[in-house]
Amino acid sequence: MSPRAKRRIRAYIVIGLITVGAAILTWFWALVPILSGFYFGPRTDEEIIRRFYPYRLIQSEWVGKTDHLLFSWSAWESGVRLLVLVALWLGGVLFVVHNHIKSKPIGAT
């Protein structure tokens, strides 16, 4: 197998690992607010958001006062988290592709 083919295979493997990592983060981090956007109990929507999501990208005050604040906030929060993951995934893939294109062939001087 030629050195160029080895570099290409290595780049494909790294891109695949970045993609799998992004898919896992999407399921366990980005989609969590939208999948758990329903809560029935005595607490207000703002209390639920503050209690269950102490670290959030979108503040509940930014969404506005609606009858369905928890659902609206969870949709916005999931959307922003997905945008962050897409940007990170794209940055990682572009980094790998850039390094693959700019690297010298193995054995070249």
Q: Give every CB contact of residue 87 below 8 A, 6+ residues apart in sequence.
A: none
> pLDDT tens string for the chain (109 positions)?
888 888 889 999 999 999 999 999 999 988 888 877 667 778 888 888 888 888 889 888 888 877 888 888 888 999 999 999 999 999 999 999 998 888 766 665 5
Look up the pTM and report it. 0.81
Instruction: Kindly state whether residue 11 falls inside one of the protein's structural domains.
Output: no
CA-based Rg of the chain, rounded to a whole angstrom? 21
- Terminal CA-CA length for the chain: 20
Instruction: Kindly state whether residue 52 falls inside one of the protein's structural domains.
Output: yes
Instruction: Kindly state whether residue 10 falls inside one of the protein's structural domains.
Output: no
Instruction: Kindly state whether residue 8 falls inside one of the protein's structural domains.
Output: no
Number of domains in the chain: 1
Contacts 24+ apart (CB under 8 A), 57-62: 57/81, 57/84
